């Protein structure tokens, strides 16, 4: 299998990484394709199976773990599994495009460790905790308990930021998008 390149975006949820990843996907000159993760959580809002995630039952997810089908997976929140299928990365590499990931911090570092030569890892940092909390609440799709869970996880994740190749602080979305574009286009050249 010819290896292609991998672009990993990781961040505490609510830091704006998804918006940045979507922005880069629209830049056709970068020729990126989104790695659709598998998850055992239920679809949220307008999410579509096979586009945003491959939505699996916990049993289906565990069968794929047993069959060694994941490049990396994690129980990100209790009973909510998330993972990158090997078949997904191979599918994208075959098209000649680079793979772009929107995954959690530990998963992102895991990919970078497995493909040190092929990966650019970028950490997106929220400007501060108050702003992060505001963004998570602004989503209004989550219960208070889930918001608290995400905030606790964010604390741990911020400590891992220095292990990434680059850090983008997202206090101005327009600038953050430009920085992301520069980093990725330089890496792909």
Instruction: Decide if residue 84 touches ligand 5GP (CB under 6 A).
Output: yes
We find the least distance from the C-beta atom of residue 115 to ligand 5GP, in angstroms, to be 15
Instruction: Decide if residue 107 touches ligand 5GP (CB under 6 A).
Output: yes
Instruction: Decide if residue 86 touches ligand 5GP (CB under 6 A).
Output: no
We find the least distance from the C-beta atom of residue 82 to ligand 5GP, in angstroms, to be 4
Stretches 99-107, 126-134, 168-176, 177-185: which one binds ligand 5GP (CB under 6 A)?
A: 99-107
Query: Is residue 17 a contact partner of residue 126, using CB atoms and an 8 Å limit?
Result: no
Three-class SS of residue 111?
helix
Burial of residue 95 (number of CB atoms within 10 Å: 0-12, 13-18, 19+): exposed
Nearest to 4 by CA among 79, 101, 130, 82: 101
Beta-strand pair 53-55/37-39: parallel
Please report where in the chains the tokens 């101005």 appear, as a residue: 172
Rule CB under 6 A: choose which of 21, 24, 76, 120 binds ligand 5GP. Answer: 76
Instruction: Decide if residue 41 touches ligand 5GP (CB under 6 A).
Output: yes
Instruction: Decide if residue 15 touches ligand 5GP (CB under 6 A).
Output: no
Stretches 24-32, 60-68, 74-82, 160-168: which one binds ligand 5GP (CB under 6 A)?
A: 74-82
CA distances from 163 to 5, 25, 98, 111, 167 (A): 19, 24, 22, 12, 9
We find the least distance from the C-beta atom of residue 38 to ligand 5GP, in angstroms, to be 7
How far is 59 from 40, CA to CA, in rounded Å?
Answer: 9
Binding site for ligand 5GP (CB under 6 A): 13, 37, 41, 72, 74, 76, 82-84, 102-104, 107
């Amino acid at each position: 299998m010819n290896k292609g390149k991998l672009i990993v975006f990781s961040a505490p949820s609510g830091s704006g990484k998804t918006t940045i990843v979507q922005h880069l996907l629209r830049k056709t000159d970068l020729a990126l394709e989104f790695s659709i993760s598998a998850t055992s959580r239920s679809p949220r809002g307008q999410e579509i199976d096979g586009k945003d995630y491959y939505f699996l039952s916990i049993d289906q997810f565990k069968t794929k773990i047993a069959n060694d089908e994941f490049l990396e997976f994690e129980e990100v929140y209790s009973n909510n599994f998330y993972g990158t299928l090997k078949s997904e990365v191979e599918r994208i590499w075959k098209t000649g495009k680079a793979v772009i990931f929107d995954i959690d911090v530990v998963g992102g570092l895991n990919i970078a460790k497995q493909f040190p030569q092929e990966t650019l890892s970028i950490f997106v940092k929220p400007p501060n905790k108050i702003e992060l909390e505001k963004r998570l609440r602004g989503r209004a799709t989550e219960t208070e308990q889930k918001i608290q869970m995400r905030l606790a996880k964010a604390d741990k994740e911020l400590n891992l930021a220095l292990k990434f190749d680059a850090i983008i602080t997202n206090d101005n979305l327009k600038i953050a998008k430009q920085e992301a574009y520069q980093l990725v286009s330089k890496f792909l050249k």
